[in-house]
Amino acid sequence: MSSSDAQAFARAAASIAWNRREFIRSSVGLSSTAAMLGFAPLRAAAFSAKQKVVVVTFGGGARDEETFAPDGQENIPNLLQTLLPQSTFYAQVVNRGILGHYVATASLATGVYETFDNFAVVPPHDPTIFEYYRKELHRPATDAWVVAPSNGFNRIGESDHRSYGEGLGAGVILPKHLLQAAMPTSSGMNLAHLLRDNYEDPYYTPALAGNEVQLRQLDEILKLSVTDFTRHALTLSSPDELSVYVVRQLMRQLAPSLLWVTLHDMDIAHSGAYSLYVEGIRRSDRLCAELWSSIQADPEYSGRTTMFILPDFGRDSDSDSGGNGFQHHRTGDALSRTTWMMVLGPGVRQGAMIDKPVDSLDLVPTLGSLLRFSTPLAQGKRLEEVL
Amino acid sequence: MLPEQLTADSFAGYPPKARDLAVKNLALLRQLPLGFAPLLLRETQGYDWRFPAEQRLVDDQFVYLQALSSDDRDRLFRGFPAVSLPKSLEAIDWVSDPQDFLDTLTAQLWASHQIGAFRAAANDYVAKWRAVMPEPPPALPRLSVVVLGADVKLDNYPLFRKLRPYGVFFPRVDSDNAWPAIVAALTKRAAAHPVPYGHLYVDGAVSDPAAAASLNAISYGGLHAVRDALFARMQQVIRSGHGGPEELRTKMAQITPKELGLRSAPGDETMSRFAVSILTEGSGTQIFSTTFVQWSAREALRRAQPCTLLLRYAPRQRQLPMNEMLSAKDPGTVSDPGGSMMDADMGAFYTWINQQRLTGHEQSAFLAWSQEHAQAVAIGPGLPLKTVSAGAVTMPQLLSQVM
């Protein structure tokens, strides 16, 4: 990007953030960065030796038009009215990497813009937050987990970096794959539609071996019988609901300190059906609030858990002729790259809004500082406002 | 292969008109950078079955580039060679399959963080070319009519919320005989201004024969057998178990109307090729009729630049929630009237935006009407903004405001 292009992008990103801030301020009235600067961080006083972190990413992103803008606020009542007032809100989080969900989520988890093929089932090349965490703090494998929507995310738990990698990463649970393993093949159910891997290439699902591994995860980790799991799945309306169910089960059984879940229902936007995209946003909004309630209700988590909520990136704007509005994230325009992040938990200033631009890569060093381990190969900067 | 290695034989596999055009401009093509030549060849390769507006686009570019001095051309393409391209791209047969080259190039640009620079170079090129050779105005002021048809309905929904600021909202439309009135008005308009592919019609169900007789038409329902054939093709590629999404995309792009059982008028593959491209290149167009209509409209406006565009949305199939999918009870095809309404409402907004991207947008007019809710919005020159016209109105009266 040339210097003039970079300046134009920065102006566009700042404008998006400004609008987002104004939308929110008009609806819930948060304090600004300026109000925050005079305060000392509260983290030192609040830090608990048993600090836990839950990261929720939206794979697909939701635009301001459907969320924080006046017409979109009806879709996110929980984020706006319940979670936002308790959080520090970053209004301008810029993703400068590849806008594909697996590679972008991997970049969020490594703190480095990964450049592998988004649709290849490969591990990240740089160490993940889970490897830094486990290696430096000598944490067991049961203490870091990823719950992800699709087979393509199978390798996100640990990198192929030679100084980290095998045996140091997070456990990965793919709830839909779990469901496939649990459902009897003789049931006559056509799972192909449900099990499709992603909405960007809806006809492609990488094959994963090892249903027996999945069933062992059910039994040994989640402490669920196949019957109970399938019975519960039959009460849920979407894969994201299944993911949150698995997260809660993990919290109950293992209480991991580092837990990462990606929600993908809203990415059905790629099908071009606007109503289904909005439905996905509303569901994610509800699930975030339910997850926060679960955290507050669980003695292992209550009072010691910081939750980060962020889309991996945005979606194309209506005004870019290279795209088709909400449907995709292919233009690389400012709206598709500029998103937001909500941080809430003990010691995090409530109702504060950060206007300055931050980078998607800043998540990893921030998590490292919060849980007190180093992230030497990550490229972002610590977000001091929530430390 | 590099552009300077091109010969007339390189284009032996092109259709007749495309081959002639490429050979005629061979000397020029040899001088283009590798980052640009395949883009131009992609447009050239399909020349024989492109819409007239697209053919003009290709012709204009060759004329413009031919007229430049070598130095001016170098300056024009300065941004393209500046993007660093790996040697592996040269190995791709970008003359026979420019799309494959562009897919690989795009992935490379994203991975190397050069996509922004490439887009900037492309935009710069278009701006300079269009400054010298602007798009001609349409033969008559453009008009798009979007109909949210029977059973597309959702109560207590703020219909046309995004469009209302740009025109007049009519909350009481007499829907009796409204559709026949639209068809009659547009067929009369098409007959009075016979522009090839200048009057298009897309239907989310089955085309109304009265409209399809005068307008170039495609419909979701009419392509049922083609969609089935396409799904069978997709499954075949997926079952082959190798290649992944890239191979699937490449295979889809190579499908011809004939292979899907779609007949073309003799010597005229334009509409059948267009219909197949909607199904093979669009995302969700195969599954949801609302997406089919919206994407077809977007592509029609972008590619054919019609004077008249008629769209009619019909209910799309319902997306089953997970628990219903798992219940193993086949509910059959169930429609989703409310979801279809939201889809169509957004689709109408996007159609207006896309029409406004074309030449003559100051004179363009737009009408969206909901049959079930008897509401409409009209936008056009002379019509006020952000206005509500509370009185009852008939369709002929509405049409008179936009034609």
Residue A227 confidence (pLDDT) above 70: yes
Output helix, strand, coil percentages for chain A, rounded to the nearest 5.
Answer: 45, 10, 40
Q: What is the mean pLDDT of chain A?
A: 86
DSSP B321: P
Place of tokens 């293992």: A254
Nearest CA in chain B to A197: B245
DSSP A72: G
Nearest CA in chain A to B281: A201
Residue A29 confidence (pLDDT) above 60: no
Question: In the predicted model, what is the mean pLDDT of residues A150-158?
Answer: 85
Pick the CATH number of B143-222+283-402 from 3.40.720.10, 3.30.1010.10, 3.10.20.30, 3.40.50.800: 3.40.720.10
Q: What is the mean pLDDT of chain B?
A: 91
Query: How does residue A34 score in pLDDT terms, banded at 50, 70 and 90?
Result: very low
| DSSP E strand boundaries for chain A | 52-58, 87-94, 144-147, 171-173, 258-263, 305-311, 338-344, 352-354, 358-359
Q: pLDDT tens digits, residue range B364-393?
A: 999 999 999 999 999 999 999 999 999 999
Residue A279 confidence (pLDDT) above 80: yes
Q: Treating both helix axes as pointing N-terminal to C-terminal, what angle do B270-281 and B224-239 enclose, rounded to 10 degrees?
A: 50
Q: pLDDT tens digits, residue range B254-306?
A: 788 888 888 877 777 999 999 999 999 888 999 899 999 999 999 999 999 99
* CB count in 10 Å sphere of residue A319: 11
Distance CA B211, CA B217 (A): 8
Distance CA A97, CA B44 (A): 32
Task: Of A104, A60, A119, A90, give the one whose Cα is nearest residue A315.
Answer: A60
The domains of chain A, with CATH numbers, are: 3-386 (3.40.720.10)
Place of tokens 């006559």: A188
Classify the C-alpha dihedral B284-B285-B291-B296 as positive or negative: positive
* pLDDT given for residue B241 in this prediction: 63
Q: pLDDT tens digits, residue range B299-341?
A: 999 999 999 999 999 999 998 877 777 666 666 678 999 999 9
Percent of chain B with pLDDT over 70: 94
Q: How far is CA B90 from CA B1, B99, B102, B121, in A?
A: 5, 14, 12, 20
User: Which tops the pLDDT comparison, B231 or A275?
Assistant: A275
> What is the DSSP pairing of strand A144-147 with strand B216-219?
unpaired
Question: In the predicted model, what is the mean pLDDT of residues B87-102?
Answer: 85
Segment among A254-263, B133-142, B239-248, B351-360 with least mean pLDDT: B239-248
Q: Which residues of chain B does A326 touch, with a Cβ-Cβ cutoff of 8 Å?
A: 346
* pLDDT given for residue A200 in this prediction: 60
Question: In the predicted model, what is the mean pLDDT of residues B16-32?
Answer: 96
Q: Which residues of chain B does A275 touch, with a Cβ-Cβ cutoff of 8 Å?
A: 336, 338-343
Dihedral (Cα; A236, A239, A244, A250), 10-degree rounding? 100
Percent of chain A with pLDDT over 90: 59
Of B119, B290, B322, the CB nearest to A236: B322
Distance CA B300, CA B297 (A): 5
Collapsing DSSP to helix, strand or coil, B13 comes out as: coil
Residue B249 confidence (pLDDT) above 50: yes
Distance CA A377, CA A135 (A): 14
Question: In the predicted model, what is the mean pLDDT of residues B13-21?
Answer: 96
Residue B163 confidence (pLDDT) above 90: yes
Interface of A with B in 155-184 (CB under 8 A): 183
Q: C-alpha angle with apex B49: B46 to B54, nearest 5 degrees?
A: 75
Work out the end-to-end distance of chain B between its first and last CA atoms, rounded to an integer number of angstroms: 52
A/B interface, count of CB pairs below 8 Å: 137
Long-range contacts of B15-20 (CB under 8 A, 24+ apart): B15/B45, B15/B46, B15/B47, B15/B48, B15/B49, B16/B48, B17/B47, B17/B48, B18/B44, B18/B45, B18/B46, B18/B47, B18/B48
Interface of A with B in 6-25 (CB under 8 A): 9
Question: In the predicted model, what is the mean pLDDT of residues B172-195?
Answer: 97
Q: pLDDT tens digits, residue range B42-81?
A: 999 999 999 999 999 999 999 999 999 999 998 888 877 5
Contact B402, B367 (CB under 8 A): yes
Q: Is A190 left (phi over 0), alpha (psi -120 to 50) or beta?
A: beta
Contact A107, A361 (CB under 8 A): yes
Question: In the predicted model, what is the mean pLDDT of residues A12-33?
Answer: 68
Place of tokens 């030449």: B359
User: Which tops the pLDDT comparison, A241 or B231?
Assistant: A241
From A237's Cα to the closest Cα of chain B, the distance in A is 5
From B24's Cα to the closest Cα of chain A, the distance in A is 30
User: Which tops the pLDDT comparison, A358 or A21?
Assistant: A358
Distance CA A90, CA A356 (A): 8
* pLDDT given for residue A35 in this prediction: 43
Cβ-defined contact of B111 to A115 (cutoff 8 Å): yes
Distance CA B331, CA A359 (A): 46
Q: What are phi and psi of B317, to 5 degrees?
A: -70, 150
Q: Which residues of chain B does A188 touch, with a Cβ-Cβ cutoff of 8 Å?
A: 328
Q: Which residues of chain A does B110 touch, with a Cβ-Cβ cutoff of 8 Å?
A: 98-100, 332
Distance CA B207, CA B184 (A): 15
| CB-based burial label for B27 (10 Å; 0-12, 13-18, 19+) | exposed
* pLDDT given for residue A45 in this prediction: 44
* pLDDT given for residue A209 in this prediction: 55
Structure tokens at B100: 């494959």
Task: Of A353, A358, A361, A312, give the one whose Cα is nearest residue A93.
Answer: A358
Contact status of A229 with chain B (Cβ, < 8 Å): no
Contact status of A321 with chain B (Cβ, < 8 Å): yes
B309: Cα separation from own chain's centroid: 12
Distance CA B227, CA B317 (A): 14
Segment among A51-60, A362-371, B4-13, B81-90 with least mean pLDDT: B81-90
Question: In the predicted model, what is the mean pLDDT of residues B15-22?
Answer: 96
Q: State whether ipTM is beyond 0.90.
A: yes
Residue A333 confidence (pLDDT) above 90: no
B29's CB contacts (< 8 A; 6+ apart) are B3, B6, B22, B37, B40, B41
Nearest CA in chain B to A277: B343
From B11's Cα to the closest Cα of chain A, the distance in A is 29
Query: How does residue A10 score in pLDDT terms, banded at 50, 70 and 90?
Result: confident
Question: In the predicted model, what is the mean pLDDT of residues B152-157?
Answer: 96
What residues does CATH 3.40.720.10 cover in chain B? 143-222+283-402
From B123's Cα to the closest Cα of chain A, the distance in A is 11
Of B244, B321, B342, the CB nearest to A278: B342
Contact status of A334 with chain B (Cβ, < 8 Å): no
Query: How does residue A331 score in pLDDT terms, banded at 50, 70 and 90?
Result: confident
Structure tokens at A153: 């995310």
From B333's Cα to the closest Cα of chain A, the distance in A is 14
Work out the end-to-end distance of chain A between its first and last CA atoms, rounded to an integer number of angstroms: 32
Cβ-defined contact of A241 to B291 (cutoff 8 Å): no
Contact status of A191 with chain B (Cβ, < 8 Å): yes
